Amino acid sequence: MERQTVILLVVALVAIIEPAAGKVYKECQLATILQNHGFTKSLIPDWVCLIMSESSGNTAAKGGPNSNGSYDYGLFQVEALRRADPPFKESYRLCKRPGK
C-alpha cells in the first residue's frame, strides 16, 4: 500500500476514534501536520482544501444522517456505515464481517 494512502487511513481513523477531542485546526496548522507526516508537498493545498470544505478543520465534526442512515465523522467526514450487508457495494465491506 502506498505510504500516503496508509497515512490517510491513519488520519481518518484518528478522526473517527477521537472526535471528542474537538480540536479545530487552521489551514496553516493542517499544512504543517500533513507535511510532517510525509504528504506530497505539491498536494498539500488540495488536502487542506478538502479538509476545510468537509469539516472546517474541526476534528469533532459530524455530518448526516446520510440517505443510508449513516453519519460522517472527523476532518475528512469519513462515512461510518451502519451495515455491511447487501445492497451495499462490496467495496464498502472493508471489515469483511456481517453488518450489525
What pLDDT sits at residue 52? 93
Q: What is the largest CA-CA distance in the chain?
A: 42
- List, for residues 21-55, the tens digit of each pLDDT value: 689 999 999 999 999 999 999 999 999 999 999 99
46 in active site: no
Give dist(CA 11, CA 53) in Å, integer.
17
2, 54, 85, 90: the catalytic one is 54
pLDDT at 6: 67
CATH architecture of 3-92: Orthogonal Bundle (1.10)
**Whole-number pLDDT of residue 20:** 55
Assess whether 72 carries a catalytic annotation. Answer: yes
CB–CB of 70/79 below 8 Å? yes
> Given 2, 27, 72, 85, which residue is catalytic?
72
For the record, the C-alpha cell of 77 comes out as: 467526514
pTM comes to 0.61
**pLDDT-above-90 percentage for the chain:** 36
User: What pairs with residue 27 in β-bridges?
Assistant: none
Could you state, in order of their start, the residue ranges of all structural domains in the chain? Answer: 3-92
Amino acid 67: pLDDT: 85
Phi, psi of 21 (to 5 degrees): -60, -35
**Does residue 94 carry a pLDDT above 50?**
no
pLDDT at 87: 53
What pLDDT is attached to residue 71? 87
Average of pLDDT values for 63-88? 75
